[in-house]
Structure 1
Amino acid sequence: METTARTREEERGYPDHWEADVVLRDGGTAHLRPIRPSDSDKLDAFHNAQSEESTYLRFFAPYPRLSERDLHRFTHVDHRDRVAIIALIGDEIVGVVRYDKINASQAEVAFNISDAHQGRGLGSVLLEHVAAAARERGITRFFAETLPSNARMINVFQEAGYTVAQDLDDGIVTVDFDLTPTADSVAVMRAREHRAEARSIQRVLRPQHVAVVGASRAYRTVGRTVLRNLEAAGFTGSVSVVNPGASEVAGHPAYPSVRDVPGEVDLAVIAVPAEAVEAVVVDCAARGVLGLVVLSVGFGEDGSAEGRRRQRELVRLARSHGMRVIGPSSFGVVNTEPEVQLNASLAPVAPARGRIGMFSQAGALGLAILDGAAQRGLGMSTYVSAGNRADVSANDMLQYWQDDEGTSAVLLYLESIGNPRKFTRLARRVALDKPVVALRSGRASQGVPIGHSVRESRVPREAVDALFRQAGVIRVESISQLFDVGQLVATQPAPAGDRVAVVGNSDALGLLTADALESWRMQLAGDPVSVRPEATAEEFAAAVEQVFARDDVHSVVAVFMPPLVTPGQDVARVVADAAQRYGKTTVATFLGIRGVPEQLRGEPDGTMPPRGSVPSYPTPEEAVRALVAASRYAAWRRRPRGTVPELEGVDRVAARALVEERLAQAGEGERVRLDYADAATLLRHYGVRVEPTVFVSTVGEAVAAARRLGYPVVLKTAVPALRSRPDLSDVRLDLGDSTALVRAWSELRLSLGEEAVRDAMVQRMAPVGVPVVISALEDPLFGPVVTFGVGGVASEVLGDRTYRFPPVTDVDVAELVRGVKALPLLTGYRGGNEPVDLAAIEVLVQRVAQLKDDLPEVAEVVLDPVLTSAGGATVVRAVVWLARPGAREDVGPRRLV
């Protein structure tokens, strides 16, 4: 019955894309969707459960029952002029928002939130979603009428960040506001998103009662291992066991179901066969469990249709009942806070307490990752293994770690990035205060692991690297490097600059270190300082003091061969003491040790290793590589943040109208190429002027066109198959009069054939300059991507391009333009030409980036060539493609994706 009703609704334009899972203020989740006719019974139950006061505030009168007519009117909407969105937890409606269109641009909006769920932020999140739906339907203003005593509803509007006007007349308050998103409304939404998502993770990582579902009497089973590890870690809360086939497990009473566990259960760790997980989730939902860690395998990672179905249903059930899911195929979670001491993982020994938050998508690598950290003496604040990353992702963890006082650095092992736009936004925000170090696997193939739900991407791996740099993320290439950099940024202060001094007891090691620093373009602060191999501790101390005391030294690399006379412990203490006193970033190559030996540790502070400890690496090259990563990150933090400029001469309304008109003329799913005139018009709406082009098919038309444009002109063939072929000359330049133009026409016809001049074009001759290419595309995964390169061999053959992801600041654009290896061609290489106007290029890039950010329907825009010189930049040719895009996942109201 439900399926039949749903099918009819979809035929009437049911907007599936309005459905969303959302996180509420307290960290719980709810499902939002447009109302359906089949919701009549649910709506009736919702209304009957409301208090008299709530009903009176909603209807301005006692309204104990909804009539059949009311129920039909409230549940039968057209999703255009009359819209209603409901919030559900489980199968119960807990909130309703609706609007009724009054005129072409205005609608009346009203809320009703369940008494039992007041104060959870349902009103604000429903407002975000209904406002987005209204804007989609062309409505620009909301108004609402309410009683003065309905403070909750009035506050929802006032706190949303919109400019709200209020009027009191005859005992009724009228609230009116524009729906156009503002900086304040977006900031309010982001702040609420941050608090809610952080809270949802906190509920999982700081439980007071954990139920292990599937723990058995067999010692080496997954569930029993988790139970044993919880006890060994000294979990401060209570633990219950769920096993319908046993009365007790390892001294714990065993309950047949989660429903039977006494007391409130915060976290359920599920270790049962995949086919049994769904029933366990239903039991957890009925019991009010807050979060799930699913260790079970047999879901999306097995590649089967049934496994993918199980995974989707797991997430749907959990989110619809207010729960977040870590997994499936997770290795578990760890929280070393003394107040928690949670080891709900398969690691036999929990990591020591530290200041690193670690997120891993690879369940199978969990043991190796934790073992690698333990070997280095590297402690963690929290560890989360997401497995298939069906729900909780790195983005959620970044929200949590941003405010977590016990975490000072973040390490990420990523097999995929489900929402790169959101990742960029969150990582940039976290990285301003805490280093974020990331290893992304699959760089060679850009592949996505089985079990991960990620849209296909067309951008090259260099673009992903650019995304990390833009966000301030330190990218590494192996798990070993992940920990190399992690132990440095977690223990040492950020470098204040890029000048590095080298000190040690080996000339050979000193020179190797200096070579490594120069290969990474770091600045050496003088020659390496060396003492003799048999030097005493006092001599070491004097050399170390000499280096650290210099004002022009920002970082120090201490390199030591095993001393022949002086004990190594004494040398280590000298280095550690100087690093502590001077507060300069210090790394060491000491006795071939990887990690932090005891003598290089700072003052005990309850974490491992203590803050101020000096990390040691087996070779100078590894030490330098870690230091370079930390130095570049510190430089990113020191640089100006930049702003997204307000561009003059932009007509967004006209640009969108043109795009919509051309797409309306296209077939479903068709990719449309704009003609030259439309492409130039669209770009002109964003302040980009393209050189006029006149298409001709006879020599007479060419002469007439040249007369209108003004000499000198350029004659080109417009036949795509003949354009830009290196073996053919398809362009005649600098034609100063009609005689030269007629001669060029004849030459073009003779060399390329009659076809070349039947479809030709005339342009005014642009100023001579260095050609560059500016382009942007809509990627299914990453959204808008802007690319820059110097024209010709540099970008086409050598792939010398740079990438950024809108919205871009003026600093981002400056780095984009100056990041190409062929930059000397633009800055006057060997005095061969004047430096070009880089500022003019940056303005063009900024305008293209703004166009692409505003218009997802622009599938691709290419300005090629743009001729640049000291006098500015001239766009000679522009190509624009349009297509209906998928939804951008970080645009619009809050939702879990």
Structure 2
Amino acid sequence: MTVLEKFKPIFYPKSVMVVGASKDPNKMGYYCVKSLKDAKFKGKIYPINPHAQKILGFKVYPSIKDLPENVDLAVIVIPAKAVPSTLEECAQKQVKGAVIISGGFKEIGREEGLKLQEETVNIANKYGIKIIGPNTFGVVNLHANLNASFTPIFSKLKKGNVALISQSGGMCHIISYHGMEEGIGFSKIVGVGNRCNVEFADLIEYFGEDPETKVIAMYIEGVDDARRMVETAKKVVRKKPIVAYKVGREGSGKAVYSHTGSLAGKHEIYKAAFKQAGIIMVDSCIELLDTVKALALQEPPNNGRFAVVSKEAGPAITMIDVCTDGGLTLAKFTDETNEKLKKLLPPFTIRTNPVDVAFASLNIEAYKEAVRLVLADENVDTLLFFCLYHPGIKLPVEDFAKAKNKFKKCMVSCVVAPKNMWIQVKRKMEQMGIPVFPSPERAAKTLVNLTFYGKIRKMVS
């Protein structure tokens, strides 16, 4: 059985039961049913509750044994002590995937929680049930209209090619909500929780094969088998980028364990291992989103020679500092490019790298030609573009994208405007494969991360 087949009951179920479904909006069981409904899940939905007749329009069944047919996926949101026996009942209905939202297992750090999780794992393994959780918010597959979580708003996420694996429900929600604002499209989202029998390594392997996923993003606190995760990642980064935000440094290890029952480990060891594996390591959830957005929109550069085109000097210098600190090299234009830029731009502007287009920005033909010349230069691998809003500037987005694609170059931009200004311009740039960021530092740092992966991919290929 392939890894895609193993996880099919989790990500592509034909039917879902919600054990602990409720008609009370103050309970998680209500929102688990609502999430499936709001996602317009195309399969059958079976709420389980002995004290209700209907929940959100769905017929309710008093127990699992009363269901009229076998079910692929079970969403379980009941007290922890009842979970093992519920899994036994699920097995009688041929359930092969379970999302256990319930808490009170390994993460509480007490013997009773440890025993409950061990018993749950043993039952699941006995019957071949893949478990997401326990102590999770759930699973989302935008390509299957599946929202098996307690967060109905996840049904409104944009469908795309970024897979998110998170050890924290809170951080996953933060990343997803920011992703909504940024227009980032997700393929699938998984809250791994305590990780009964599905580890980071298993999901990395799955998403490495998943045709709907192009980029893998991870939020990690601690891993019980870090070696296996790193070894799996090494294989996957040959074809897909992995971006990781690892927390749980010295002093927060106890908090990490009480959250998901994992050991945080030495941060520097993780950092070195991730780098060796080719994983892009970031320092915030915002940097995580910036990086996956850029990777989802375009191919990374193979080398680190960059150019800057800007109509303001300060932001250009800022971007150069961030890039050179990150190991990139400011490109030296060919003599041919230098001569053409001298003819194109006024003599009192900087016409080398960075290219100052301040006095050409109102001349659309000169503006787009300057960008085209830089992208065409054989010594340039990627372009950082900066522009501040001005009512007289009409950015020739189509021409930028045409040149970028023609010369097969990477282009990252920072476009800054007052609130509600140039919204369509920025949206159009991203639709044409040019990621846009709100600050020069974020644009430049994203380019550093893109280049890191580009070099890794070039080396392993």
> Match of 2:309?
503
The correspondence for 2:73, drawn from 262, 267, 288, is 267
In the TM superposition, residue 581 of structure 1 has moved relative to its aligned partner by 3.5
In the TM superposition, residue 502 of structure 1 has moved relative to its aligned partner by 0.5
The correspondence for 1:563, drawn from 387, 390, 412, is 390
- In structure 1, give the amino acid aligned to 2:404: A
Give yes or no for contact 1:522–1:628 (8 Å, CA) kept in 2.
yes
> Match of 1:633?
453
For residues 537-583 of structure 1, the C-alpha deviation after alignment (integer angstroms, 9 at most, x for no partner) is: 3332122112111121111100111124124xx35444344333433
Compare 302-311 and 228-237 and name the one that shifted more: 302-311
Give yes or no for contact 1:572–1:600 (8 Å, CA) kept in 2.
no
The correspondence for 2:443, drawn from 623, 645, 652, is 623
Give yes or no for contact 2:383–2:411 (8 Å, CA) kept in 1.
yes
Cα separation, 1, equivalents of 2:413 and 2:273? 31
Compare 256-265 and 237-246 and name the one that shifted more: 256-265
The RMSD of aligned alpha carbons is 2.3
> Match of 1:395?
201
Q: State the number of aligned residues.
A: 434
In the TM superposition, residue 291 of structure 1 has moved relative to its aligned partner by 0.7
Cα separation, 2, equivalents of 1:462 and 1:593? 40
In the TM superposition, residue 453 of structure 1 has moved relative to its aligned partner by 5.2
Cα separation, 2, equivalents of 1:312 and 1:536? 69
Q: Mark the CA change 1:264 to 1:537 in structure 2 (over 3 Å): closer, same or farther.
A: farther
Structure of greater relative contact order (alpha carbons < 8 Å, 6+ residues apart): 2
Give yes or no for contact 2:223–2:263 (8 Å, CA) kept in 1.
no
Give yes or no for contact 2:248–2:264 (8 Å, CA) kept in 1.
no
For residues 200-223 of structure 1, the C-alpha deviation after alignment (integer angstroms, 9 at most, x for no partner) is: 222211100011111111124212
1:584 maps to 2:388: no
> Match of 1:449?
257
Give yes or no for contact 1:300–1:451 (8 Å, CA) kept in 2.
no
1:309 maps to 2:128: no
- In structure 1, give the amino acid aligned to 2:149: S
> Match of 1:514?
320
For residues 648-682 of structure 1, the C-alpha deviation after alignment (integer angstroms, 9 at most, x for no partner) is: xxxxxxxxxxxxxxxxxxxxxxxxxxxxxxxxxxx
Give yes or no for contact 2:238–2:460 (8 Å, CA) kept in 1.
no
1:252 maps to 2:58: yes
1:542 maps to 2:374: no
For residues 680-722 of structure 1, the C-alpha deviation after alignment (integer angstroms, 9 at most, x for no partner) is: xxxxxxxxxxxxxxxxxxxxxxxxxxxxxxxxxxxxxxxxxxx
In the TM superposition, residue 600 of structure 1 has moved relative to its aligned partner by 4.6
Q: Tell me the secondary structure at the aligned position of residue 365 of structure 1.
A: helix
The correspondence for 1:358, drawn from 164, 169, 175, is 164
For residues 789-821 of structure 1, the C-alpha deviation after alignment (integer angstroms, 9 at most, x for no partner) is: xxxxxxxxxxxxxxxxxxxxxxxxxxxxxxxxx
Q: Mark the CA change 1:468 to 1:598 in structure 2 (over 3 Å): closer, same or farther.
A: farther
1:454-469 map, 5 Å: 454=262, 460-469=266-275
Give yes or no for contact 1:294–1:329 (8 Å, CA) kept in 2.
yes
Q: Mark the CA change 1:249 to 1:320 in structure 2 (over 3 Å): closer, same or farther.
A: same
Q: Mark the CA change 1:281 to 1:462 in structure 2 (over 3 Å): closer, same or farther.
A: same
- In structure 2, give the amino acid aligned to 1:580: N
Q: Mark the CA change 1:410 to 1:444 in structure 2 (over 3 Å): closer, same or farther.
A: same
**Identical-residue share of aligned pairs (%):** 31
Q: Which has the larger helix fraction?
A: 2
> Match of 1:529?
355
Q: Mark the CA change 1:346 to 1:579 in structure 2 (over 3 Å): closer, same or farther.
A: farther
1:81-120 map, 5 Å: none
Compare CA radii of gyration and give the structure with the larger one.
Answer: 1
Q: Mark the CA change 1:271 to 1:307 in structure 2 (over 3 Å): closer, same or farther.
A: same
Give yes or no for contact 1:335–1:342 (8 Å, CA) kept in 2.
yes
Q: Mark the CA change 1:470 to 1:334 in structure 2 (over 3 Å): closer, same or farther.
A: same
Cα separation, 2, equivalents of 1:537 and 1:346? 50
Q: Tell me the secondary structure at the aligned position of residue 47 of structure 2.
A: strand
Give yes or no for contact 1:203–1:290 (8 Å, CA) kept in 2.
yes
1:364-403 map, 5 Å: 364-403=170-209
Runs (4+) off by over 4 Å: 451-457, 571-574, 600-603
Cα separation, 2, equivalents of 1:554 and 1:445? 41
Q: Tell me the secondary structure at the aligned position of residue 190 of structure 2.
A: strand
* TM-score normalised per structure 1: 0.46
Give yes or no for contact 1:601–1:614 (8 Å, CA) kept in 2.
no
In the TM superposition, residue 361 of structure 1 has moved relative to its aligned partner by 0.8
Cα separation, 2, equivalents of 1:320 and 1:627? 47
Cα separation, 1, equivalents of 2:312 and 2:259? 51
Q: Mark the CA change 1:598 to 1:297 in structure 2 (over 3 Å): closer, same or farther.
A: farther
The correspondence for 1:235, drawn from 37, 41, 49, is 41
Runs of 5+ unmatched residues, structure 2 = 333-352
> Match of 2:346?
none
Give yes or no for contact 2:415–2:426 (8 Å, CA) kept in 1.
no
Give yes or no for contact 1:198–1:397 (8 Å, CA) kept in 2.
no
Q: Tell me the secondary structure at the aligned position of residue 34 of structure 2.
A: helix
> Match of 1:754?
none
